[in-house]
Every structure is written in structure tokens, then in C-alpha cells.
Amino acid sequence: MILVIDIGTTSVRVATMSSDGDVVGFQQQQQPPSSPFAGLVEFDPIALANTVQELAAPAVNAVGAVTGVAITTQRASTVVWDRSSGEPIGPGLSWQDLRTVGECMTARSEHGVTVAPNQSATKAQWLLRSVESAEPNNLCIGTVDSWITWMLSRGESHVTDHTNAAVTGWYDPQGASWSEHLCDVFNTPTSMLPQIVDSVGECAIAHSLPGAPPIVALIGDQQASLVGQGCVSPGLAKITFGTGGMLDTVVNNDSPLAQTTRRGDGGCFGIVAWAEGGQRTFGAESIMLAAGSNIDWLRDDLKIISSSAESHDIASSCSSTDGVMFVPAPLGLGTPHWDYGARSTFVGLTRGTTRSHMVRAVVEGIAHRGADLVEAVQTDAVADVDVVRVDGGMSQNPFFVQTLANFTGLTVEVSPHTEGTTVGAGRLALVGKNEMPTVADTAEMWNPQVIIHPDDSFDRVDARSHWEQATSRSRGWIPELSSLDF
């Protein structure tokens, strides 16, 4: 039996998984970050670690014992703590936190280094400024996977894996190690950083859990979802439609995005998909900043739907949007545009526009953004995507999934598990315990809930052309934000 600890941006999930890769127990507790001011997003590292312990220990006891632990987490959120006491020196800074935009611009103008505020480097730099007199050897810097592993191991292990390390801003993708140059740019002593280990294999002992099981899998959340949906070879892409949307796909070693963390011309990033046996598998990632949050907006703020599920019924109640289009950009547009000053836009509204037209336009807008992600990764990674697999809350909306198939022109397979992240991390742990031979073998466990094919009669070219026109109208709304480039 495997224990999976899955730490997202707003909740902690703990599951137990059998040796055949099925989830047999699941608990979830909300752990939302706080936002003391606009743009600032913080969390309490101690409260987070306590929640993990409170959920994990009973889960282990409920099944008697576990043979291994998998940890998958939100990426790039940053904690700095005292090595001796285990006490954080300040709040944890969420990947969403934007307080270091200025530092990112300085790194680019003065050092020629491109780093985004959602990466760890400037977050740690900001936290370290509050303890400038501290001895470097007395402090640890880590992402959430490092922090939780440290706490579970009772301070014995300070580690991270390549999938998490590669999105920090300190990583050298060519050398598969911390970059001395980047650490110098951000005033980060390498002695504070964790050891980089494989995503699969024993890296620590969870002394604080019953039976002290080994930690045998560490991986970032989006990469875990990639494994959970069996997308472990080129040609398959997964999109997780949660609050935002993330497309990830494996690429060949000769892809322009292999062995790099840079952003391609199409707006995608190179990532490490996982590391196994000292070898890294590479991938590409494209990002939409708001997906399911647009449905939440319809429900909680506009109050024109009573539940998220109702969006399917209302969108299906009309045959078209009657010319209305919606560009979902409450936080700007990610891939391919990376325009932080874009804003959500309705176009084509008339006196005859109804509630149904508007709801359908919002759902279609999210599907259009999904198609943007697919097109971008095909451009940047020079890789064909033949099948899209989806998980996350919106994967349970039949109208949305069919629309995504129509806009991409691809077959869409729906995950049987809403939380593909949890499943993928657990299956990596099975590999780490030699209960499965390799990560590639997890592909055989994929069994979609439903398979949706694009409608042959749908005019995709016309729909995508109109979408481009609508998107152009949403861009550059806040020029000073649109000018930012990370």
C-alpha cells in the first residue's frame, strides 16, 4: 500500500493506493493561502505541515501500514527556514505571489537573466533580506516538496526533485544541477538549497509517520498529472482544467524545448517531466491563467448559474452563442500571448443576447483557450499531439469536453479520476518500490472514463478565426502590465 500526499494551491489531499494503482482511500482538507494585499499571496508553512501530518498519520493507521510515500506539490511556492529549529523565517510565498515583479525586471535589465515572479528565485531573495545577518549554513531554502519532506523526515533530509528544481529559476538544465551563476545573481548561497534527486526512488524516511515508511516519489503536480493520465510518450498531451489550465506533454530529446527552461516563441516552456535512474525525460508546458475560475465567477459573483454543473445544462440549452464570444482573461493571457494586461472581454453582445448565450460563450471561451495551448505546444515543441487527455473539475462538463474536441480537432479522453495528480504520484511510488518496472509502464493503466471525437460537421477554421479576432480585442487593456515580459 502506498500513501500519496498531494498539496495543491488551496487544499491538501491524502490518499492510499493499492499495488494495482487504484485509490482505496481519500481525504481532503482546504488550506487556502491568504492575500494581505493585492498581488501578495502567502501561506503558513507550519500550518501546512501540521495539516499534512493530521491527514497522513490516520490514513496510514487506517490501512495498517504503507510501504512507501509519494509527495506531489504545487511548484515554485517557497519557504525559508532555520536548519536548527525548523522554524520558518517568514511566511511561505505562493507561486501566485507577485511582490517580486521589480526584482524580476532588475535581473533582466542588469544581468540579462529572465525569471518570472511565479518562480522561486526572487521569492527566496525577498525572504532572505529579512535575515541578512544569519549564517548561510543555518538556513534552508525549499519549495513545498522540500519543506514537507524535511518535516516528515524530522530534519534529516533536505531534497527536491528535478521537476520542482527546474521551475525555481536557479536550475541549470544542461548540467542538471544548481547554476552557480544564477545563484550569484539572486544572492542565494548553494549551501541553503536542497539536494536534487530523481523523481522516482527512495530519497528520505518519513520518521513522523507510523512505521517510518520511505519517501519514494517526489514530483511537481502537473508532471504527476501527466503520469496519472498515461501521457508518458510523445504525441499524448494532458490538460488539467482546474482554477487555471495546464497542458503538459513529453517531447523527444531533439525537441527545441528539451534540456531548457526557456520560453519558446509560441509561449510554451521546457520542463523536466520526471527523472528516473539518473535519466531525465523532458516535456513542454503551456498555461492558461484562468479556466474553472471563470465558471466560479458566473456562479459566485454574477450569480447567473447556481452550480458549476449547471453551466453544462445552460450552455446546451441554445444551439449557438448567436455571435457572442468571451475571452477568459481576468488575470491576463498566458500561452501563447503572455499579456498580463489583457482582460476578460465579451464581444458580439446585442439586445437579443440571453443568459444562455453568455454562459455558453464563457464555456466556449475556456475551450478556445485549451485549443490555444495545444496549438502552441505543437509549434514550440515541434511535436504532433494526436490525443488530448483531460482531468480537473471541468473535465466533468460534457458540453465543454465536446467543444474542446471540436476546437482542437482532436480526440479528447476524459480521466476516470478528477485528481490525476494524486494518481500519478502514487503510481510513481509503485515504480519507486519496484512494484512496477518503469514509469513508461504506467501507460498501460490508462482507462478513460469516456472518449469524445470532434464533430466532423463543425467548421473549426471559421470558429478559430473569429476567436483570434475576439482575443485581439482583449489584449493591451492595461498597457503598463502588457509591457511586462518574463
**pLDDT tens digit string along 229-238?**
999 999 999 9
Mean pLDDT of 351-356: 97
Percent of the chain with pLDDT over 90: 89
Domain assignment present for residue 310? The answer is yes
**pLDDT tens digit string along 90-119?**
999 999 898 999 999 999 999 999 999 999
Residues 64 and 150 in one domain: yes
Residues 250 and 374 in one domain: yes
Domain assignment present for residue 423? The answer is no
**pLDDT tens digit string along 470-483?**
999 999 999 999 99
Domain assignment present for residue 183? The answer is yes
Residues 160 and 211 in one domain: yes
Residues 260 and 115 in one domain: no
pLDDT of residue 243: 86
As a whole number of angstroms, the distance between CA 128 and CA 115 comes to 18
Residues 121 and 21 in one domain: yes
The domain of 382 spans 230-414+456-486
**Count of domains for the chain:** 2
**pLDDT tens digit string along 186-218?**
999 999 999 999 999 999 999 999 999 999 999
Domain assignment present for residue 265? The answer is yes
434: exposed, middle or buried (Cβ count in 10 Å: 0-12, 13-18, 19+) = exposed
Question: What are the E-state strand segments in 208-294?
Answer: 214-220, 236-241, 245-250, 269-276, 279-288
Q: Under a CB-based contact definition with an 8 Å cutoff, are residues 372 and 394 in contact?
A: no
pLDDT of residue 88: 96
Residues sharing a CB contact under 8 Å with residue 80, sequence separation 6 or more, in sequence order: 88, 89, 90, 124, 127, 128, 131, 139, 140, 141, 142, 192
Residues 63 and 197 in one domain: yes
**pLDDT tens digit string along 15-57?**
999 998 889 999 999 998 998 988 899 999 999 999 999 999 9
pLDDT at 137 over 80: no
Domain assignment present for residue 156? The answer is yes
Last residue of a domain, one of 222, 254, 275: 222
Domain assignment present for residue 446? The answer is no
Last residue of a domain, one of 185, 203, 222: 222
DSSP code, position 119: S
Per-chain mean pLDDT for the chain: 95
Buried b / exposed e across 450-476, counting CB within 10 Å, b at 16+? Answer: eebebeeeeeeeebbeebeebbeebbe
**pLDDT tens digit string along 244-282?**
999 999 999 889 999 888 899 999 999 999 999 999 999
CATH number at residue 149: 3.30.420.40
Residues 180 and 308 in one domain: no
pLDDT at 10 over 90: no
- Only one residue has cell 515541434, namely 382
Mean pLDDT of 379-396: 91
SS3 state of residue 426: helix
Residues 240 and 375 in one domain: yes
Domain assignment present for residue 424? The answer is no
Residues 261 and 375 in one domain: yes
Who wins on pLDDT, 54 or 132? 54
Residues 296 and 210 in one domain: no
User: How many CA atoms lie less than 13 Å away from 387 in the CB half-sphere?
Assistant: 17
Residues 13 and 65 in one domain: yes
pLDDT of residue 132: 66
Residues 84 and 101 in one domain: yes
Domain assignment present for residue 443? The answer is no
Last residue of a domain, one of 174, 192, 222: 222
Q: What's the pLDDT band for 418 if we cut at 50, 70, 90?
A: confident
